Amino acid sequence: MTVKSVTLPDIGNYKDVPVIELLVAVGDRVEKEQSLITLESDKATMEIPAPFSGIVRRIMVKTDDKMNIGDVIAEIEPTEEAAEPVKAAAPTEPPSAPPVAEAPKTSSPAPTPVKEAAVPAPSTGNYPMNAPTSGALYHASPSVRAFARRLGADLTKVVGTGIKNRIQNADVEAFIKQALSGAITSTTVAGSAGIPPLPTIDFSQFGETETVPLSRIQKRSGKHLSACWLNIPHVTQFDETDITDLEAFRQSLKARAEKAGVKLTPLVFILKAVARVLSEQPKLNSSLDPSGENLILKKYIHIGVAVDTPNGLVVPVIRDVDQKGLFTLSTELAEVSKRARDGKLSPDDLSGGCFSISSLGGIGGTQFTPIVNGPEVAILGVSRAKMSPVWNGEAFEPRLMLPLALSYDHRVIDGAQGARFITALSSVLTDLRELIL
């Protein structure tokens, strides 16, 4: 029996590309051009096809392996030479066949590939529920896989209606529609796996109700916030900062600011102080790369500011905060928040942020826990400053105290780092002379 090694062909200018899926198993009969594995670079997903038909005798890679040109993927016995193909495992639930794994039409005895059997369908809904169980194989193009990933569909549960049961976008859509209608449980939708759904209640049974549609911004930010909340392990560190001197300085600048046509609020000072501490503690000015194995440190300091608009929350970004003065920052903040409220922000205004600030200081409240605006790794929540009695060692003194809350991604920032950041920020806000050091 001659077994041939199948190696990774030239896939362009990529190195160490991770394997994200094995599409065949030992004993499978594969056809020429049938996909063997899927690789995913930071830019694209690629399926690597078999260069000839045959039976898979060994698989030399596993998911998460990093591949380079020439690496061996599998050993395949060409079909003409295959003596005794591997026998199939008996299906556990006859007679429905899995939608993939159709035997090739050759003259040699067709083997039944080793695959999981189909799961009998629950009787509800229109979606063809004889999809394979998790771990079964399926065929879908990279664009369909990307589409499914975007929607959170588990492709092992989707029935393909294309040629040779290939899964198409329409199949993914049908699956998602069914999932939304409740015929498929949330455990089959990747991303929500294991999260019990909230109960659906007809509130009108308790009294009068009115249904108001969410705005486009609310729908979009709702999805983003849920993704951040579910994907990022959050910790929130609180502090109270003495801004009595900052406030005196701000008041002393008021006339000058008015003359220059700007309004200096505490937020502008906070922006400046945050930029300073970010430059000293670059880990908080970073993002995890998509593999989750590297940290991308940004050498620029662009800060997003949450703005409350009639249509919902938006986070325009103020660029190069470290290089701008208080009056310039004030002008930009006023200008961008006006455009945000007028619904006139461009995609550029909303991209490129490294860190976010959410200030509710103009409204009230003593503290809140902001959600990290992923893929950023930290966000500062600012509440309303309050005159409080502070013990100075001999007596209580009235000091203006500003409540701060720093939420951070605990995969990147550990508790000590978070505490160091908020302490350093506090010390700059308490004594702005630190900004000129």
Judged by CB, which is closer to ligand CAO: 24, or 284?
284
Long-range contacts of 287-294 (CB under 8 A, 24+ apart): 287/354, 287/375, 287/376, 287/377, 288/375, 288/377, 288/409, 288/411, 288/412, 289/42, 290/42, 291/18, 292/411
**What distance lies between CA 149 and its chain's CA centroid?**
11
Contact yes or no for 9/27 (Cβ under 8 A)? no
User: Hey, which residues does 378 pair with through a beta bridge?
Assistant: 408
Least distance in Å: CB of 268 to ligand CAO?
7
Say how far apart CA 320 and CA 299 lie, in whole Å: 10
Q: How far apart are CA 165 and CA 113, in angstroms?
A: 15
Which residues, at least 6 apart from 223, have a Cβ–Cβ distance to it below 8 Å? none
Closer Cβ to ligand CAO, 50 or 371, answer by number: 371
Closer residue to ligand CAO, CB minimum distance, 174 or 307: 307
Phi-psi region of 394 (alpha: psi -120 to 50; beta: other; left: phi over 0): alpha
C-alpha pair distances (Å), 129 with each of 142, 152, 284, 330: 23, 18, 46, 58
Cβ proximity to ligand CAO, 52 vs 368, nearer residue: 368
Residue 369: partners with Cβ closer than 8 Å, 6 or more residues away: 234, 236, 381, 405, 407
Please state whether beta strands 54-59 and 29-30 pair in parallel, antiparallel, or not at all (unpaired). antiparallel
Minimum distance, C-beta of residue 230 to ligand CAO, in the bound complex (Å): 16
DSSP count for the chain of H helices, then E strands? 7, 19
Helix (H) or strand (E) holding 255: helix 244-259
Assign 311 to helix, strand or coil: coil
Beta bridge partners of 309: 312
CB of 267 to ligand CAO, least distance (A): 4
Task: Say if CB 116 and CB 133 are below 8 A apart.
Answer: yes
Cβ at position 229, least distance to ligand CAO in Å? 11
Sheet bearing 4-7, strands edge to edge: 4-7, 72-78, 54-59, 29-30
* Closer of 41 and 265 to ligand CAO (Cβ): 265
Can you give the binding site for ligand CAO, defined by CB under 6 A? 265-267, 305-308, 313, 337, 358-362, 370, 382, 384-385, 402
Which stretches of 46-168 are DSSP H helices? 142-151
As measured in angstroms, the least distance from the Cβ of 274 to ligand CAO is 13
User: Nearer to ligand CAO by C-beta: 160 or 361?
Assistant: 361
Rounded least distance, CB 305 to ligand CAO, Å = 5
94: CB partners within 8 A, 6+ apart: 117
Q: How far is the CB of 406 from ligand CAO (least distance, A)?
A: 13
Which residue sits closest to ligand CAO, CB atoms considered? Answer: 361
The question of whether 302 is a catalytic residue gets the answer no
Question: Shortest gap between Cβ of 239 and ligand CAO (angstroms)?
Answer: 13
Maximum pairwise Cα distance, the chain:
97
Peptide bond into 316 cis (omega under 30): no
Catalytic residues: 410
